[in-house]
Amino acid sequence: MDFELIKKLIVPAQTKIVLLVLDGLGGLPLVPGGKTELETADTPNLDSLAKRSDLGLSQPAGPGITVGSGPGHQAIFGFDPIKYEIGRGALEVLGVNFPLKPDDVAARGNFCTVDSDGIIIDRRAGRLSTTISQELAELLRSIVIDGVEFFIEPIKEHRFAFVMRGEGLRAGLTGTDPLEVGLADHPVRALNPESEQAARYLNEFVEQARHLLAEKSPANMILLRGFARLPELPQYSEYFGLNPAAIALNGMYRGVSRLVGMTVLEVPENTIRSEFDTLEKHWDEFDYFFIHVKETDTCGADGDFQGKVQVIEAVDRLLPRLLALNPDVVIITGDHSTPAVMKSHSWHPVPLLLFSKYVRPDGFAEFGERVCAHGNLGIMKAREVILLALANADRIKKYGA
Amino acid sequence: MDFELIKKLIVPAQTKIVLLVLDGLGGLPLVPGGKTELETADTPNLDSLAKRSDLGLSQPAGPGITVGSGPGHQAIFGFDPIKYEIGRGALEVLGVNFPLKPDDVAARGNFCTVDSDGIIIDRRAGRLSTTISQELAELLRSIVIDGVEFFIEPIKEHRFAFVMRGEGLRAGLTGTDPLEVGLADHPVRALNPESEQAARYLNEFVEQARHLLAEKSPANMILLRGFARLPELPQYSEYFGLNPAAIALNGMYRGVSRLVGMTVLEVPENTIRSEFDTLEKHWDEFDYFFIHVKETDTCGADGDFQGKVQVIEAVDRLLPRLLALNPDVVIITGDHSTPAVMKSHSWHPVPLLLFSKYVRPDGFAEFGERVCAHGNLGIMKAREVILLALANADRIKKYGA
């Protein structure tokens, strides 16, 4: 997508767009010849909407490429996830809902166990309890180095998110984690001259951490890897003229939404119903809403076919509340497929539904993988879906005369 | 498209290709669940041909992007309309059928009214009569500046096409039109050093025009905007080995055809029938014919659903005359969609039919948007259609051994 071109073609409108993402929506039959999770689910509302919509399949990053949820969301938000790579460190930090700034250097942190010679004997420090991890994080927060600030956010067990904040820091850096036991941790090395200052700060931090934790057990050292800064993503308001809001429960999705300039709304309860409450409550304040449903992916990754079916059915029951708001454009899709039978993300293109007053429905009264494969949208790049949404919302003017 | 590669693969043949473009062909139903213009039209000949053809949808510039007729034709001729942008000035001049040369700097001109201080009080000079406009154009033609030539071609009312011809002129130039009343006209500014000479010539022209028109009323000044040179498009003869002809009634389509090296044939009468007469008359002289039907777009833009249906039916009745010539390849499509219900161009992909002896028809005996969406060509980039045409005409040899 040529963002500069799109920016020139965008025109203001009073229309509203809703993007409903069922994480890991695409699936597979449990047995050859069977139905997928979506095809199995009893979804009268989705089916009725499908009959009045354009259908197709969306492909996050091309044939055969399986994406994580970060890249999957980047794609469905309109950004090539290969070009705008979000480094592991940045994703980890976004996942704890930390307000990462463009100049911050983020990393994935582990507490680990080293012997008296500094040789790593357990990279995960026996998966120490999150409580202990929090105490150790507090200790690390006492490290002070002139010129930079550090943030340590425990995640779970031995894992923590790490952020270094300062002026002009670059993240062309190698990690300290040798990724196997029997070796000492590596010093951070700069991969380019611009990153040398960051490497010095980090090595000083690591040495101070080594001393601070030396007497602790089992976690007496840290490992840092996946150093990354945020990619600078074109902002929705600037490039698409939208005032966008995100409704998501999990940190990483909230983080990626914030990255493209969405206002991340507070959701009172940890339920899909509460997400739809939030949509209704804020309907008048924004013109684009991203709603994220996590459980489809969770069930898929757990191999829980029936659970995934039930989550889809639960969303189907809530759909009339969304439609009652009279959105001009509704997109329903996933960020990638997570077939329960695979217990993992997969490369399969994802069912895609587009509703607006400008559609040419095929008359298929079903929302499912096989029907979508015959839909008139064909197999689309996920990152081009936003263009269709904007066009159907009367927000893109003609190119040329 | 890698034109240099295609050029190497082109082989001569005695085959003939016809590209029949119904401008703005794609449509939408008047009411949800209804039929589009093309689906409504009674088209026994198109339907019969569809049954023996490959069907699909063509996309001028990607999902969600609506194109003007200029870019739409560039695309269906094989050229990326974003990469080979035709500036507004050049399009305007092509529109009056002026033989624009590659080095010419073209612009859109307006006669306007200024007060005694040179402040614009009417950007259109009261939409003065075309007759007066022609007299004023004649006056401007008397301006002589050493090193350059000027061409002024009245279009309608206050509008005229402007061309400056000289050696090595560049068009990185700002217009003189402030686009609102209450301001004086701007001087032309060069956006790069290469365009400075052109800016000097133009500012001198504008000053001379100011003096020449000073005593006239209501049009006593000119405004120039959209300075552009022609994009240099790869030529059909050189790259595709074709000897191509264009049959079109309107200036802009004739201009864009000329841009890719087509011979633009004279059409005696302003009717579709006369265009088909012209095709028959020149059948033996060329091996590629582009035939342009404008009225489908005109009716669509007017919101005249039934009128568009009737134009399609009129073309259908003429189709047997085309087929009687035994063309080797027939492509029938549009340059973009113009749904009557939208009264404007739209982004919807356009029905596409490809007939040759090498097709694998699906057996759909209908030419319509929904049927084409299920056709075996899928959703194609419009600019790749020429490759299919050439291949089906035995004009592209094998790549590699």
Rounded to whole angstroms, how far apart are CA atoms B332 and B309? Answer: 16
* Residue A63 Cα to chain centre, angstroms: 20
Q: B66, A385: Cβ pair inside 8 Å?
A: no
The C-alpha of B11 sits at a distance from chain A's nearest C-alpha, in angstroms, of 33
- List the end-to-end C-alpha distance of chain B, in Å, as a whole number: 21
Rounded to whole angstroms, how far apart are CA atoms A190 and A173? Answer: 5
pLDDT in tens, A259-318: 899 999 999 999 999 999 999 999 999 999 999 999 999 999 999 999 999 999 999 999
Of B28, B68, B91, which has the smallest distance from its Cβ to A398's Cβ?
B68
Check: CB of residue B157 under 8 Å from CB of residue B128: yes
The C-alpha of B53 sits at a distance from chain A's nearest C-alpha, in angstroms, of 19
What is chain B's Cα-based Rg? 23
Mutation site, B347, B364, B377, B380, interface A, largest A CB count within 10 A: B347
Q: Please state which of the ranges A77-81, A98-102, B31-35, B312-316 shows the lowest mean pLDDT.
A: A98-102
Nearest CA-CA partner of B20 in B253, B349, B309: B253
Q: B62, A385: Cβ pair inside 8 Å?
A: no
Rounded to whole angstroms, how far apart are CA atoms A390 and B347? Answer: 11
Q: B347, A401: Cβ pair inside 8 Å?
A: no
- Cα angle value B80/B84/B85 (rounded, 5°): 110
The C-alpha of A376 sits at a distance from chain B's nearest C-alpha, in angstroms, of 5
- Quickly count helices (H) and strands (E) in chain B: 13, 13
Q: A360, B373: Cβ pair inside 8 Å?
A: yes
Chain B residues in contact with A391 (beta carbon < 8 A)? 63-66, 346-347
Q: Which two tokens stand for residue B376?
A: 């075996």
What is chain A's Cα-based Rg? 23
Nearest CA-CA partner of B228 in B68, B82, B90: B90
Pairing of strands A105-114, A159-166: antiparallel
Chain B residues in contact with A389 (beta carbon < 8 A)? 64
Check: CB of residue B168 under 8 Å from CB of residue B147: no
H or E stretch at B110: strand B105-114
The C-alpha of B92 sits at a distance from chain A's nearest C-alpha, in angstroms, of 9
Rounded to whole angstroms, how far apart are CA atoms A254 and A316? Answer: 23
- Quickly count helices (H) and strands (E) in chain A: 14, 13
H or E stretch at B227: strand B221-228
Rounded to whole angstroms, how far apart are CA atoms B172 and B198? Answer: 9
Residues 6+ apart with CB under 8 A from B89: B105, B106, B107, B108, B162, B171, B225, B226, B227, B228
Q: B81, A399: Cβ pair inside 8 Å?
A: yes
Closest-CA residue in chain B for A399? B67
Handedness of CA B142, B145, B149, B151 (dihedral sign): negative
In sequence order, what E strands does A96-241 have? 105-114, 120-122, 148-156, 159-166, 221-228
Counting Cα atoms < 13 Å in the Cβ hemisphere of B188 gives 28
Amino acid letter at B141? R
Chain B residues in contact with A56 (beta carbon < 8 A)? none
Q: B61, A399: Cβ pair inside 8 Å?
A: yes
Question: The whole model's pTM is what?
Answer: 0.88
Q: Can the peptide bond before residue B218 be classed as cis, meaning omega within 30 degrees of 0? A: yes
Chain A residues in contact with B368 (beta carbon < 8 A)? none
ipTM value = 0.87
Chain A residues in contact with B85 (beta carbon < 8 A)? 400
Q: B64, A400: Cβ pair inside 8 Å?
A: no
Task: Output the pLDDT for position B103.
Answer: 87
Q: B68, A401: Cβ pair inside 8 Å?
A: yes
Task: Output the pLDDT for position B182.
Answer: 95
Q: B66, A389: Cβ pair inside 8 Å?
A: no
Q: B88, A401: Cβ pair inside 8 Å?
A: yes
Check: CB of residue A111 under 8 Å from CB of residue A133: yes
Pairing of strands B221-228, B148-156: unpaired
Chain A residues in contact with B66 (beta carbon < 8 A)? 391, 396-399
Q: Largest Cα–Cα distance in chain B?
A: 75
pLDDT category at A399 given cuts 50, 70, 90 is very high
The C-alpha of B216 sits at a distance from chain A's nearest C-alpha, in angstroms, of 32
Phi, psi values for residue A204, rounded to 5°: -65, -40
**Which position has the token pair 């509008």?**
B159
Q: A385, B63: Cβ pair inside 8 Å?
A: yes
Check: CB of residue A350 under 8 Å from CB of residue A335: yes
Task: Output the pLDDT for position B305.
Answer: 98
**Which position has the token pair 């030396």?**
A214
Check: CB of residue B287 under 8 Å from CB of residue B15: yes
Chain B residues in contact with A2 (beta carbon < 8 A)? 82
Strand partners, A355: A330
The C-alpha of B103 sits at a distance from chain A's nearest C-alpha, in angstroms, of 21
Q: A360, B369: Cβ pair inside 8 Å?
A: yes
Chain A residues in contact with B61 (beta carbon < 8 A)? 399
Q: A396, B63: Cβ pair inside 8 Å?
A: no
Question: Chain A residues with CB-CB distance to B under 8 A?
Answer: 2, 5, 9, 52, 357-358, 360-363, 374-378, 380, 384-392, 396-401
Amino acid letter at A196? E
Nearest CA-CA partner of A286 in A19, A53, A11: A19
Mean pLDDT (whole number) for A92-119: 90
Task: Output the pLDDT for position B101.
Answer: 85
Closest-CA residue in chain B for A360? B28
- Cα angle value A120/A126/A128 (rounded, 5°): 120
Report the mean per-residue pLDDT for chain A. Answer: 95
Q: Can the peptide bond before residue B178 be classed as cis, meaning omega within 30 degrees of 0? A: no
Q: A387, B36: Cβ pair inside 8 Å?
A: no
| Per-residue pLDDT in tens (0 to 9) along chain B, 401 residues | 788 999 999 999 999 999 999 999 999 999 988 999 999 999 999 999 999 999 999 999 999 999 999 999 999 999 999 988 888 888 888 878 788 888 899 999 999 999 999 999 999 999 899 899 999 999 999 999 999 999 999 988 899 999 999 998 999 999 999 989 999 999 999 999 999 999 999 999 999 999 999 999 999 999 999 899 988 888 999 999 999 999 999 888 988 998 899 999 999 999 999 999 999 999 999 999 999 999 999 999 999 999 999 999 999 999 999 999 999 999 999 999 999 999 999 999 999 999 999 999 998 999 999 999 999 999 999 999 999 999 999 999 999 98
Check: CB of residue A213 under 8 Å from CB of residue A152: no
Give the number of other Cβ atoms within 10 Å of residue A352's Cβ: 29
Chain B residues in contact with A397 (beta carbon < 8 A)? 66
Closest-CA residue in chain B for A51? B33
Q: A400, B70: Cβ pair inside 8 Å?
A: yes
Residues 6+ apart with CB under 8 A from B141: B150, B151, B152
Rounded to whole angstroms, how far apart are CA atoms B160 and B125? Answer: 13
Q: What is the DSSP letter of B193?
A: G
Q: What is the DSSP letter of B100?
A: -
Question: Chain B residues with CB-CB distance to A under 8 A?
Answer: 28-29, 32-33, 36, 57, 61-71, 81-82, 85-86, 88, 91, 339, 342, 344-348, 369-370, 373-374, 378-379
Of B66, B91, B339, which has the smallest distance from its Cβ to A391's Cβ?
B66
Report the b/e string of B9-24 with b at 16+ CB within 10 A.
Answer: bbeebebbbbbbbbbb
Chain B residues in contact with A388 (beta carbon < 8 A)? 63-64, 347
Handedness of CA B265, B266, B270, B273 (dihedral sign): negative
Q: B370, A389: Cβ pair inside 8 Å?
A: no
Mean pLDDT (whole number) for A63-90: 92
Residue B179: C-alpha distances to residues B119, B159, B183, B185 (Å): 12, 14, 9, 9
Task: Output the pLDDT for position A91.
Answer: 82
For A342, the 3-state DSSP assignment is coil
Q: Which two tokens stand for residue B20?
A: 């029949």
Rounded to whole angstroms, how far apart are CA atoms A19 and A330? Answer: 6
Q: A396, B64: Cβ pair inside 8 Å?
A: yes
Rounded to whole angstroms, how far apart are CA atoms A224 and A87? Answer: 13
Q: B81, A400: Cβ pair inside 8 Å?
A: yes
Of A374, A386, A397, which has the smallest distance from its Cβ to B374's Cβ?
A374
Check: CB of residue A123 under 8 Å from CB of residue A183: no
Amino acid letter at A201? Y
pLDDT in tens, A136-189: 999 999 999 999 999 999 988 899 999 999 998 999 999 999 999 999 999 999
Task: For chains A and B, count residue pairs whose Cβ atoms are closer than 8 Å.
Answer: 90
Q: Where are the alpha helices (DSSP H) in B268-342?
A: 272-281, 295-302, 305-323
Q: Which two tokens stand for residue A130?
A: 């999150």
Task: Output the pLDDT for position B156.
Answer: 84
Q: Is A64 exposed, middle or buried (0-12, 13-18, 19+ CB in 10 A)?
A: exposed
Chain B residues in contact with A373 (beta carbon < 8 A)? none
The C-alpha of A61 sits at a distance from chain B's nearest C-alpha, in angstroms, of 16
Q: Which two tokens stand for residue A260?
A: 């493209």
Closest-CA residue in chain A for B368? A360
Nearest CA-CA partner of B339 in B27, B23, B33: B27
pLDDT in tens, A215-258: 999 999 999 999 999 888 889 999 999 999 999 998 889 889 98
Rounded to whole angstroms, how far apart are CA atoms B75 and B77? Answer: 5
Chain B residues in contact with A398 (beta carbon < 8 A)? 66-68, 344-345
